Amino acid sequence: MKNKGGLLLEFILNIFIFSIILLLLFTFMKRIVIIQNYKTKVRTAGENTLYLFNVLKKNIKERDKEKFLYKGKKSNFFIINENGVSDTGNSLLYKADGEFYLIKFNKPKLLISSSQTPESFKKYDTLAKLDSLVFRTKSDLLLIIFEINGNTTEQVINLK
């Protein structure tokens, strides 16, 4: 007599193989979702940082042009490093609308503080998280070189 229909063992084996294929497929799909979420997070952080630097660029251009005294030097903005005022550093001090602003990179955070005097900064707010940041002056240009998520970007600001 001819066997019409499958055995229970064949049916269970087919379900097992199908389950393994689904498990591999779902694992692969989960990895794709994780990668997409990471890419979205990185892209959003990069876009927010670029917007932040565009606003910062505008604020520095519109700073008060009157010179003020800071650590024995007189200018309308200062780049500060660990040793004091310099042409290259990780902090920037300027005055806008009668108030002093200090933008400071303390890895991995870009911080900002405001004060009535250039020596009394107390509370810092976090602006962004960066891999690195350097402020540098060349002639009448301010270069802001920063790295976020492995991508290096340079902003140039005319200080005149």
What CA dihedral angle connects 10, 12, 14 and 15, to 10 degrees? Answer: 170
The continuous run of DSSP H or E covering 52 comes out as helix 8-61
143 Cβ partners below 8 Å, 6+ apart? 134, 135, 136, 137, 154, 155, 156, 157
What is the Cα–Cα distance from 66 to 15, expressed in whole angstroms? Answer: 79
The beta strands (E) that lie in the chain are given as: 68-70, 73-75, 77-81, 84-86, 88-89, 91-96, 99-106, 109-115, 125-129, 132-138, 141-148, 151-158
What is the Cα–Cα distance from 48 to 55, expressed in whole angstroms? Answer: 11
Amino acid type, 12: I
Question: What's the distance, Cα to Cα, between the start and end of the chain in Å?
Answer: 100
Low-confidence ranges of the chain (pLDDT < 50): none
pTM of the model: 0.72
The whole-number pLDDT of residue 2 equals 58
The continuous run of DSSP H or E covering 57 comes out as helix 8-61
